[in-house]
Amino acid sequence: MKYLKWLNLIPLIMFFIVDKLRGTLISRYLLIIIVVLGVINMLIAKGMKEYCISSLMLVVSTAAGMILYTYYYYYFVSAGPETPIFGAAIMMVYGFIALAVAAVGTVVVVIKVRKACSHGKED
């Protein structure tokens, strides 16, 4: 359980893997992975501080993974002028999904912590 939050670094490399396997970046599997990681963060968080750190790791690794993939694609695959614009648009989609999952998770963790405090089980 201690190292489970390091799963949030998967988005750093998942764009490369999915592109090599499927040949496309717009894939429901990437969105499912981000949502599942967000749900895992909600379930394993013992407090709000731990959840915020895990969610921030997920959002930053998603954005950084997409930026790294865009640089890779631009310099090694296709140096077309539309590549950075397309990469930024895709990054915004995945970033908004990660932020939405983090926002919903924040509400869930707050409710979970308040229930625990009302039953006498404080952190």
**Residue 95 falls within a domain, yes or no?**
yes
Does 103 map to a domain?
yes
Residue 13 belongs to domain spanning: 7-118
User: Percent of the chain, pLDDT > 90?
Assistant: 2
Q: Give 76: exposed, middle or buried? Use CB within 10 Å, 0-12, 13-18, 19+.
A: exposed
Total number of domains in the chain: 1
How confident is residue 80, by pLDDT bands cut at 50, 70 and 90? confident
How confident is the model at residue 20, as a pLDDT? 76
Whether 2 maps to a domain, the answer reads no
The tens digit of pLDDT for each residue in 12-22 reads 888 888 777 77
**Mean pLDDT value of segment 57-73:** 86
Residue 123 falls inside a structural domain = no
pTM for the model stands at 0.80
63 falls within a domain: yes
